[in-house]
Amino acid sequence: MIIFKFNSVKVQINTNLARIQHLHLGKEQKVTINVLRLDLIHPIISGNKWYKLRFYLEEAINASFKEIATFGGAYSNHIVATACACNERNMRSVAFIRGEMTFPLTHTLQEAVSYGMQLCFLSRNDYKNKTDIIASNDLPYRYWIPEGGYGILGAQGAASILNTVPLQEYTHIIAAVGSGTMIAGLLNGSMAHQTVIGISSQKNNLSLESEILKLTFTENHRKLILMHDYHFGGFAKHPSELLHFMGDFWYNESIPTDLVYTSKLFFAVSDQLQKKYFNTGDKILVIHSGGLQGNKSLPEKSLPF
């Protein structure tokens, strides 16, 4: 186990920077596509992660915990977002990282450390059992947030994303899916006339639906549609076809996307439009959940933005 600690920079997050952008995509089919640009709220904690974390942090602060602990991989948006959100709320943070330490640290972990997060590296085997990790590292002042922010409070936070838009106008809400926490929250926050579509970033994750439904009010269960065919080979896989799409999407719509989640999300939207999945007059809200810091793992000049 290795622990890092440096002087940290101070973070401020302004969720008012998120805005709705109209796409050119869909005009031909007379389908309106609006994007909620959560990628704009902060260069690093961009997107859904701040929303997923907000009620965990609130609970921890209200119960006078002094430190947040969580889990994740070396490229995890959740890790860097936790570091950032804790810094903003003046909480200490510590993360248990999957796999041995590599040097240099990934950009994601360097970023997390710069916000004052301590890192503890665990072998892939030790990482598997979260209950054991908690048992051997628990402290009275330490509040644990599940991996990826998965849980009821995470979903509640994600539901609050929809408070920022004129919700009733939309027929569909579409978002990328990792742990399923965000889409569960969007389902809970959606209205009766809306269909909620999740684009899975993973290959063949068949337990995803049940994980999502565990966090969802039962009256919403039938409104969820999960699409599993847009993983491009698997989680975080990014063949050149995907990078080309990201470049084209940037030129056409001036929207940057990340290689793990939102590129696959917008590819799916564009593919389903071509396949006439949507009807004339539909109005679609696509959640740009951010995650752009993950693109730093690409060689320089791989993308035009």
Ligand X SMILES: *Cc1c(COP(=O)(O)O)cnc(C)c1O
Residue numbers at the binding site for ligand X (CB under 6 A): 47-49, 52, 77, 148, 176-183, 258, 261-262, 289-291
For residues 31 and 15, give the distance between their C-alpha atoms in angstroms, rounded to a whole number: 28
Which residue is closest to ligand X by CB? 291
For residues 126 and 99, give the distance between their C-alpha atoms in angstroms, rounded to a whole number: 9
Question: Which residue number, 100 or 229, has a Cβ lying nearer to ligand X?
Answer: 229
Question: Which residue number, 26 or 256, has a Cβ lying nearer to ligand X?
Answer: 256
In the bound complex, what is the minimum distance in angstroms from residue 155's beta carbon to ligand X?
Answer: 8
Question: Which residue number, 93 or 181, has a Cβ lying nearer to ligand X?
Answer: 181
Q: Which residues pair with 95 in a beta bridge?
A: 70, 119
C-beta of residue 178 within 8 angstroms of C-beta of residue 202: yes
Q: Which amino acid is at 267?
A: F
In the bound complex, what is the minimum distance in angstroms from residue 236's beta carbon to ligand X?
Answer: 11
Question: Which residue number, 37 or 49, has a Cβ lying nearer to ligand X?
Answer: 49
Residue 43's φ and ψ, nearest 5 degrees, are -60, -30
Q: What is the 3-state secondary structure (H, E, C) of the chain?
A: CCCCCCCCCCCCCCHHHCCEEECCCCCCCCCEEEEEEHHHCCCCCCCHHHHHHHHHHHHHHHCCCCEEEEEECCCCHHHHHHHHHHHHCCCEEEEEEECCCCCCCCHHHHHHHHCCCEEEEECHHHHHCHHHHHHHHCCCCEEECCHHHCCHHHHHHHHHHHHHCCHHHCCEEEEEECCCHHHHHHHHHCCCCCEEEEEECCCCCCCHHHHHHCCCCHHHHHHEEEECCCCCCCCCCCCHHHHHHHHHHHHHHCCCCCCCCHHHHHHHHHHHHHCCCCCCCCEEEEEECCCHHHHHHCCCCCCCC
In the bound complex, what is the minimum distance in angstroms from residue 162's beta carbon to ligand X?
Answer: 14
In the bound complex, what is the minimum distance in angstroms from residue 53's beta carbon to ligand X?
Answer: 11
Question: Which residue number, 93 or 289, has a Cβ lying nearer to ligand X?
Answer: 289
In the bound complex, what is the minimum distance in angstroms from residue 139's beta carbon to ligand X?
Answer: 26
